[in-house]
Chains A and B, each alone.
Chain A
Amino acid sequence: MTQIPLKEIMPHEEFLESGHLACPGCGASLSMRMVLKALGEKTVVALPACCWSIIAGPYPQSSLKLPLYHSAFETGASVASGIKAALLARGDTETTVVAWAGDGGTFDIGLQALSGAAERNEDILYVCYDNEAYMNTGIQRSSATPLGAWTTTTPGAHPEARPKKDILAILAAHRIPYAASATPAYPEDLLAKVRKAKATKGTRFLHLLAPCPPGWKTADDETIELARMAVRARIFPLLEIENGETWRITVDSPGDPIGPYLAKQGRFRHLKNEDIGAIQAQVDSRWKALQRRVAGS
């Protein structure tokens, strides 16, 4: 297999500034950096409350070289839809409007607005960077928190008891033109999906896995490796769904055992072997279900 060197596929232009306020090794800031490289200059970002509200910098600073609108926690999709309508009213058909929200702002409180926008097929690109908890307010669980994880609201004695919500399936059920999962650990795949989303009209949804060192209790330099392991272990398969119907896996997940992935993270430290076995069984059954959907489409 001859690989194209990453440096030949990664655009050089930067839209993220240094001096932003993300923690060292933050997966969310790296996600923004890569996504914007693929979107280019004609982009506007709508941002509900989340870690990124901080990363963007306090007034009067901004860490983006593009327009970014701060907005309320539950309104990511609505604000983006509104900006798009305003741009169209001004005759701008080119600019991509992005809603950039955390998992809390997407899976939980923002879901109603997102579902409404998707149902109307608003011409926006909704990106959820998923760090699997409410990190900005100090690691509370969200419906994206994976089974077995510690958070401050699911302490070690009572860890997260429900499986992670299948957000892509929910979005697919809205029959939007494009929905996909990606992570900065696979830049080629991520760039391709962002470009495809940019070129598509209607509601597009990207689910990005963005490891969070303080929230996951992991080393700062493991962000990429963890995302890679999640993909390889089929915890976070990389796929894309067109019109809610055509499901396709874009990067092979060889099915590494999940044990080493969990073992690297302090938030799973309390797990016993049987817990890990149960999580593995769940990953396996979800993978089988995904295989069926892929085969059936």
Chain B
Amino acid sequence: MAESKAILDIAHGVPPVSVSQTSTRVNKTGSWKYIRPLYRDRVAPCNQGCPVGIDIEGYMNLLREGRVDEARDLVLRENPMPATTGRVCYHPCESSCNRASFDQPVAIHSVERMLGDMALGKPAAPALEKRAESVGVIGSGPAGLACAYHLARLGYSVTVYEAESEPGGVLRWGIPEYRLPKAILASEIGRIRDLGVTFRTNTHVGRDVTLAERGMHDAVFAATGVHQSRELGIPGESLTGVWRGLDLLRAVNAGERPQLGKRVVVIGGGNTAMDCARTALRLGAEVTVLYRRSRNEMPANHEEVEAALHEGARFSFLTMPVEVTGDPREADIDPLRAIEDTFGQFDRSSEDPRVSAVLCARMELGEPDASGRRAPRRVEHSEFRIACDTIVTALGEEADTDYLPAELHGGAIRVTALGETSRTALFAGGDLLEEPHTVAFALGSGKRAAIGIDHYLRMKAGEAGADVELGELKLGPDGNLSMTRWRADDPVARVNPVNEVVRVTDLNLSQFGHARRAEDVLRPAWETRHDFLEANLGLPREDAMAEARRCFNCAVCNGCEVCLIFCPDVSISRRDDGKFDIAYDYCKGCGLCAAECPRGAITMTREGL
């Protein structure tokens, strides 16, 4: 520098005052450290908590960045029907959301619903290459649909056999229109059809075709669900006016509007019972739900119970039906005898008196049973009568697996971690398995089996080894398999990913501000109870986008630069690709970057290891 030359002491060649000529960068202060920070993306708990196995954190982050189309495509990689799950899934993901410990969980289902609705009419990415093998799928409920979808996207020819006239399973014939509009379901099934999947409806496997005909297929996925309603097992059950819940829902879903009379009693405390109660209300009845335990033990989803209550259903807890009584028609018996005197005896055996009441007993709760719920006990001499015109039973369903090989009959089917039954090439999923009977588990089991079938067929074709690194396919140690990981084509660039779930204690919550969770817009109950239009309207687009911004983006670096900002040693720099470099020559290993990272994306590791 000319200036510094000017102040040189001529005699000694040094400045008369000491003026620094170098920077401290000559000191490699990084040698002081004994631990070093490492960018290491982990797994968000919501991803592990989603039975479908969706990269929820990933799409939330894309939405934060305004990359809406990519967010939508990220969902479609794992979930063939986000508009459906956004409406009917009980969202276990939200129960595992880290934000719950801060204020309230992210309304993941509402964001998923927005993405699902945006995806309606949009195709899913087709297979890159076709494969020669074909797969048969029995049953077109969510499990069968998911399996078909993923297999088609992997290049296989898929035929779905469905006993009913239209595909969808419980989504089509069970869940009522006011919770899942059938046009939306049809659109999402259309997307699967557009991938080239063949649907053979009105085809009951076992009756119309046999499993033996699967000779046409290289592998089969069975997902026929549970449809045999459990019986009440009490006198009077077969009287006219006693409906099986599934039959009622299916009739209404077929467009019928059965006359149920004024007073309807629904028996059961599960989701089917709630659907029946809310359907009966819409058919103009007053509804009483009988449940033998208390509200706390109800297996039905909390939101469904709330909705039924708001719409005016009454609940009689700790109540067990002991007998259905028919109309005695006593007042009419004399004229009847007079007619019989003239015209001869009627065939009285076929007489079919209509339900008039249900005789009930009061229950009390005793010790917890095997399920951990307190077991109900009947209270002596507590019988009472509830007058009614119709009874709807909703006591759960069992599977009909007669079409399957004998060794798979009786009880839930057991499958491997890749969905295969004890029969080679025969896979199963959905409600046939001993897993929670939900749409999300069904979709997840279909995807799992699609991976299993792909692996099996590739192994058979000599393209893959027998071993599958299951641990690496799962989203977190306990999550479902990820199709993206199976295909090894993750669009999210991850740094040193490890399959470890980030807990709330790994986050730095100080970097977040409180924000209220957006709640779905509900039509008023006095309005919804009179029609079959959708009752829950979801979130307006902007609110759903804002909700996505409430997400902490746990475990995966989103480039917030908090680490860079708090480094006292100016050792972190941002690269052009948006990732970060740490200058280990200068990083002293203080760990502030890791401590301040809001999402636990940096791990301190021992130096030299």
- In the complex, are the beta carbons of B562 and A57 less than 8 A apart? no
Task: Tell me the A182-234 residues at the B interface (CB within 8 Å).
Answer: 184, 187, 213, 219-225, 228
Inter-chain CA distance A271–B510, complex, in Å, is 27
Q: Is A19 on the interface with B (CB-CB < 8 A)?
A: yes
Inter-chain CA distance A283–B24, complex, in Å, is 40
Q: Is B199 on the interface with A (CB-CB < 8 A)?
A: no
- In the complex, are the beta carbons of A221 and B24 less than 8 A apart? no
- In the complex, are the beta carbons of A65 and B23 less than 8 A apart? yes
Task: Give which listed residue, A3, A16, A21, A25, contacts B592 with CB less than 8 A.
Answer: A25
Task: Give which listed residue, B25, B512, B589, contacts A19 with CB less than 8 A.
Answer: B25
- In the complex, are the beta carbons of A17 and B570 less than 8 A apart? yes
- In the complex, are the beta carbons of A6 and B565 less than 8 A apart? yes
- In the complex, are the beta carbons of B592 and A63 less than 8 A apart? no
- In the complex, are the beta carbons of A29 and B569 less than 8 A apart? yes
Interface size on B, residues (CB 8 A): 45
- In the complex, are the beta carbons of A19 and B515 less than 8 A apart? no
Q: Is B588 on the interface with A (CB-CB < 8 A)?
A: yes
Q: Is B243 on the interface with A (CB-CB < 8 A)?
A: no
Task: Give which listed residue, B22, B566, B588, contacts A61 with CB less than 8 A.
Answer: B22
- In the complex, are the beta carbons of B23 and A22 less than 8 A apart? no
Q: Is A2 on the interface with B (CB-CB < 8 A)?
A: yes
Q: Is B590 on the interface with A (CB-CB < 8 A)?
A: yes
- Contact flags (1/0) for B452-472 with A, using CB distance below 8 Å? 000000000000000000000
| Residues of chain B within 8 A of A65, CB atoms compared | 23
Inter-chain CA distance A15–B24, complex, in Å, is 12
Q: Is B296 on the interface with A (CB-CB < 8 A)?
A: no
- In the complex, are the beta carbons of A187 and B565 less than 8 A apart? yes
- Contact flags (1/0) for B576-598 with A, using CB distance below 8 Å? 00000001011011111011100
- In the complex, are the beta carbons of B510 and A57 less than 8 A apart? no
**Which of B26-34, B144-152, B163-171 is the contact stretch?**
B26-34
| Residues of chain A within 8 A of B585, CB atoms compared | 18
Residue of B nearest to A5 (CB): B560
- In the complex, are the beta carbons of B20 and A221 less than 8 A apart? no
- Contact flags (1/0) for B546-571 with A, using CB distance below 8 Å? 00010000000001111011111111
| Residues of chain B within 8 A of A57, CB atoms compared | 20, 23-24, 27
- In the complex, are the beta carbons of A225 and B513 less than 8 A apart? no
Q: Is B496 on the interface with A (CB-CB < 8 A)?
A: no
| Residues of chain A within 8 A of B562, CB atoms compared | 6-7
Residue of B nearest to A9 (CB): B565
Q: Is A60 on the interface with B (CB-CB < 8 A)?
A: yes
- In the complex, are the beta carbons of A21 and B27 less than 8 A apart? yes
- Contact flags (1/0) for A9-42 with B, using CB distance below 8 Å? 0100010111111111111011001000000000
Inter-chain CA distance A207–B68, complex, in Å, is 45
Inter-chain CA distance A252–B589, complex, in Å, is 32
| Residues of chain B within 8 A of A27, CB atoms compared | 568
- In the complex, are the beta carbons of A224 and B28 less than 8 A apart? no
- Contact flags (1/0) for B485-521 with A, using CB distance below 8 Å? 0000000000000000000000000111111000000
- In the complex, are the beta carbons of B566 and A30 less than 8 A apart? yes
Chain A CB within 10 A, most for which of B515, B590, B604:
B590
- In the complex, are the beta carbons of B22 and A33 less than 8 A apart? no
- In the complex, are the beta carbons of B18 and A19 less than 8 A apart? no
Q: Is B21 on the interface with A (CB-CB < 8 A)?
A: yes
- In the complex, are the beta carbons of B29 and A18 less than 8 A apart? yes
Inter-chain CA distance A18–B23, complex, in Å, is 9
Task: Give which listed residue, B514, B570, B583, B589, contacts A1 with CB less than 8 A.
Answer: B514
| Residues of chain A within 8 A of B565, CB atoms compared | 6-7, 10, 187
- Report if A60-B21 is in contact (Cβ < 8 Å); known contacts: A25-B591, A29-B569, A184-B566: yes
Q: Is A62 on the interface with B (CB-CB < 8 A)?
A: yes
Task: Give which listed residue, B27, B561, B570, B594, contacts A7 with CB less than 8 A.
Answer: B561
- In the complex, are the beta carbons of B570 and A16 less than 8 A apart? yes
- Report if A220-B24 is in contact (Cβ < 8 Å); known contacts: A33-B568, A60-B18: no
- In the complex, are the beta carbons of B24 and A19 less than 8 A apart? yes
- In the complex, are the beta carbons of B20 and A59 less than 8 A apart? yes
Chain B CB within 10 A, most for which of A6, A26, A33, A65:
A6
- Report if A21-B513 is in contact (Cβ < 8 Å); known contacts: A6-B565, A33-B570: no
Inter-chain CA distance A7–B597, complex, in Å, is 13
- In the complex, are the beta carbons of B596 and A224 less than 8 A apart? yes
Inter-chain CA distance A59–B549, complex, in Å, is 49
Inter-chain CA distance A13–B108, complex, in Å, is 38
Tell me how many residue pairs across A and B have CB atoms closer than 8 Å.
130
- Contact flags (1/0) for B525-561 with A, using CB distance below 8 Å? 0000000000000000000000001000000000111
- In the complex, are the beta carbons of B583 and A224 less than 8 A apart? no
Inter-chain CA distance A101–B595, complex, in Å, is 28
Chain A CB within 10 A, most for which of B19, B27, B586:
B27
| Residues of chain A within 8 A of B569, CB atoms compared | 18, 20, 22, 24, 29
Min distance, Cβ A19 to any Cβ of chain B, angstroms: 4
Inter-chain CA distance A94–B288, complex, in Å, is 81
- In the complex, are the beta carbons of B583 and A18 less than 8 A apart? yes
Task: Give which listed residue, B20, B33, B564, contacts A24 with CB less than 8 A.
Answer: B33
| Residues of chain A within 8 A of B26, CB atoms compared | 19, 61
- In the complex, are the beta carbons of B22 and A10 less than 8 A apart? no
Inter-chain CA distance A60–B15, complex, in Å, is 11
- In the complex, are the beta carbons of A228 and B510 less than 8 A apart? yes
Inter-chain CA distance A212–B585, complex, in Å, is 23
| Residues of chain B within 8 A of A213, CB atoms compared | 590
Residue of A nearest to B37 (CB): A221
- Report if A221-B568 is in contact (Cβ < 8 Å); known contacts: A17-B25, A18-B586, A19-B25: no
Inter-chain CA distance A5–B564, complex, in Å, is 13
Residue of A nearest to B588 (CB): A24
| Residues of chain A within 8 A of B564, CB atoms compared | 7
| Residues of chain B within 8 A of A219, CB atoms compared | 591
- Report if A19-B568 is in contact (Cβ < 8 Å); known contacts: A59-B20, A221-B594: no
| Residues of chain A within 8 A of B589, CB atoms compared | 24, 220
Inter-chain CA distance A1–B515, complex, in Å, is 6
- In the complex, are the beta carbons of A225 and B595 less than 8 A apart? yes
- In the complex, are the beta carbons of B23 and A220 less than 8 A apart? no
| Residues of chain B within 8 A of A220, CB atoms compared | 588-592
Min distance, Cβ A257 to any Cβ of chain B, angstroms: 17
| Residues of chain A within 8 A of B29, CB atoms compared | 18-21
- In the complex, are the beta carbons of B24 and A222 less than 8 A apart? no
- Report if A6-B561 is in contact (Cβ < 8 Å); known contacts: A1-B514, A224-B595: yes
Task: Tell me the B14-55 residues at the A interface (CB within 8 Å).
Answer: 18-29, 32-33
Min distance, Cβ B25 to any Cβ of chain A, angstroms: 5
| Residues of chain B within 8 A of A61, CB atoms compared | 20, 22-24, 26-27
| Residues of chain B within 8 A of A25, CB atoms compared | 568, 588, 590-592
- Report if A26-B568 is in contact (Cβ < 8 Å); known contacts: A1-B514, A59-B18, A223-B592: yes
Residue of A nearest to B587 (CB): A18
- In the complex, are the beta carbons of A19 and B27 less than 8 A apart? yes
Chain A CB within 10 A, most for which of B515, B565, B567, B589:
B565
Inter-chain CA distance A5–B595, complex, in Å, is 18
- In the complex, are the beta carbons of A19 and B20 less than 8 A apart? no
- In the complex, are the beta carbons of B20 and A10 less than 8 A apart? no
Inter-chain CA distance A61–B21, complex, in Å, is 6
Inter-chain CA distance A57–B564, complex, in Å, is 22
Task: Tell me the B309-323 residues at the A interface (CB within 8 Å).
Answer: none
- In the complex, are the beta carbons of A62 and B592 less than 8 A apart? no
| Residues of chain A within 8 A of B18, CB atoms compared | 59-60
Residue of A nearest to B558 (CB): A5
A→B interface (CB under 8 Å)? 1-3, 5-7, 10, 14, 16-27, 29-30, 33, 56-57, 59-63, 65, 184, 187, 213, 219-225, 228
Question: Given A60-B18, A61-B26, A225-B510, 20 more contacts at CB 8 Å?
Answer: A1-B514, A3-B513, A6-B562, A14-B570, A17-B24, A18-B570, A19-B27, A24-B589, A25-B588, A25-B592, A33-B568, A57-B23, A59-B20, A62-B20, A62-B24, A65-B23, A187-B565, A220-B588, A220-B592, A223-B590
Interface CB pairs A-B, < 8 A, 7: A3-B513, A14-B570, A19-B29, A20-B24, A23-B588, A57-B20, A62-B23
